[in-house]
Amino acid sequence: MTSRILSLFILFAFASFAASAQTSSAAPKAALQEEEKVWMPEKAIPVAEHYPGGQQAMYQAIAKELSYPPLAKRNRVQGECIISFTLNEDGSTSGFKVLRNAGAGTGEEAMRVAKLLKFKAPGYSLNASIPIMFKL
């Protein structure tokens, strides 16, 4: 009877040690991977080819500048906002409109961030729309 209890105790101790060793080394790696990930749409955005560095650089700049509106955070509003604008021949932008708004100030914040984007001159006028994701 005591040998069974002793063997169960040793088995439990070994299992708990093995489980703790696996979780402690995997957690920091997962945290580093989450910091580097930036949300990007699945489809390529045509206007992104005129941004210095391409679509990845454009969405990194958006993620860097984006601040979650306090009202949206308080009400747990999350979703996608789509901003439409015109990329002019000289690289300037104009005619900003919110096509889809998640609400609680997210559309205004997405428009503010979209106005900060600086594009290279494409040589022709281009109507574009970019999605910006708000996720808690």
What is the per-residue pLDDT for 111?
A: 93
Q: Tens of pLDDT along 61-107?
A: 999 999 999 999 999 998 999 999 999 999 899 999 999 998 889 99
Task: Please tell me the distance from the alpha carbon of residue 133 to that of residue 110, in angstroms, as a whole number.
Answer: 9
Structure tokens at 67: 């601040």
Q: Tens of pLDDT along 32-46?
A: 444 567 777 778 788
Q: What is the dihedral of CA 29, 68, 135, 107, to 10 degrees?
A: -150
What is the per-residue pLDDT for 117?
A: 92
- End-to-end distance of the chain based on CA atoms, in angstroms? 54
Give the ranges where 37-131 is alpha helix by DSSP (H). Answer: 54-65, 70-74, 106-116
Report field, pTM of the whole predicted structure over 0.95:
no
Task: Please tell me the distance from the alpha carbon of residue 50 to that of residue 134, in angstroms, as a whole number.
Answer: 24
- Cα distances (Å, whole numbers) of residue 62 to 24, 31, 43: 33, 21, 17
Percent of the chain exceeding pLDDT 90 equals: 38
Residue that wins the pLDDT comparison between 17 and 65? 65
